[in-house]
């Protein structure tokens, strides 16, 4: 099963360059090629981190990595964490 964690951060400060630098450093320590970071096109202080997982079952509370990122990012602003499951076409 393919599932996705989305961690959204609304940065509470005004130095988004500093936050971007910290995000890159934090993500460099993670050995997972299925991580993507996005910034909002209009709101320079909004970021979205997408973690893609493949496993038998999705964890409702997210992966240990996702939970770690959430707890680390809370010091920078408001954090929203969601888990999504890819719909599979069941023809049976």
Q: For residue 11, give the CATH number of its domain.
A: 3.30.70.100
Report the predicted TM-score, pTM, of the whole model to 2 decimal places. 0.83
The two structure tokens encoding residue 49: 């981190």
Residue 11 DSSP class: E
Task: State the total domains in the chain.
Answer: 1
Predicted confidence at residue 80, as pLDDT, reads: 97
> d(Cα 66, Cα 5) in Å, to the nearest integer?
7
* Per-residue model confidence (pLDDT) at position 31: 67
Position 90 in a domain: no
Residue 43: name the closest of 5, 78, 68 by CA.
Answer: 78
- Residue 33 is predicted with a pLDDT of 59
Q: What are phi and psi of 32, to 5 degrees?
A: -150, 115
Domain annotation covers residue 16: yes
**pLDDT value, residue 44:** 83
Give the containing element (helix H, strand E) for 37.
strand 35-39
**Paired residues of 11 in beta bridges:** 77
Q: What is the mean pLDDT of each run of 10 residues along the chain (92 residues)?
A: 94 79 78 80 91 88 91 93 87 56
Q: How far is CA 53 from the centre of its chain?
A: 12
Question: What pLDDT is attached to residue 34?
Answer: 84
Token pair of 88, please? 């599979």
Q: Is residue 92 part of a domain?
A: no
Q: Which residues form the domain of 71?
A: 2-85
User: What integer pLDDT is reported at residue 79 of this predicted model?
Assistant: 97
């Amino acid at each position: 099963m393919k599932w996705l964690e989305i961690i959204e951060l609304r940065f509470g400060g005004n130095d988004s360059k500093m936050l971007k630098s910290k995000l890159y450093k934090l993500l460099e320590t993670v050995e997972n090629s299925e991580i993507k970071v996005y910034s909002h096109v209009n709101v320079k202080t909004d970021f979205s981190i997408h973690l893609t997982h493949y496993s038998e079952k999705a964890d409702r509370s997210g992966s240990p990595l996702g939970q770690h990122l959430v707890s680390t990012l809370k010091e920078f602003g408001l954090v929203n964490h969601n888990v999504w499951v890819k719909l599979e076409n069941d023809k049976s």
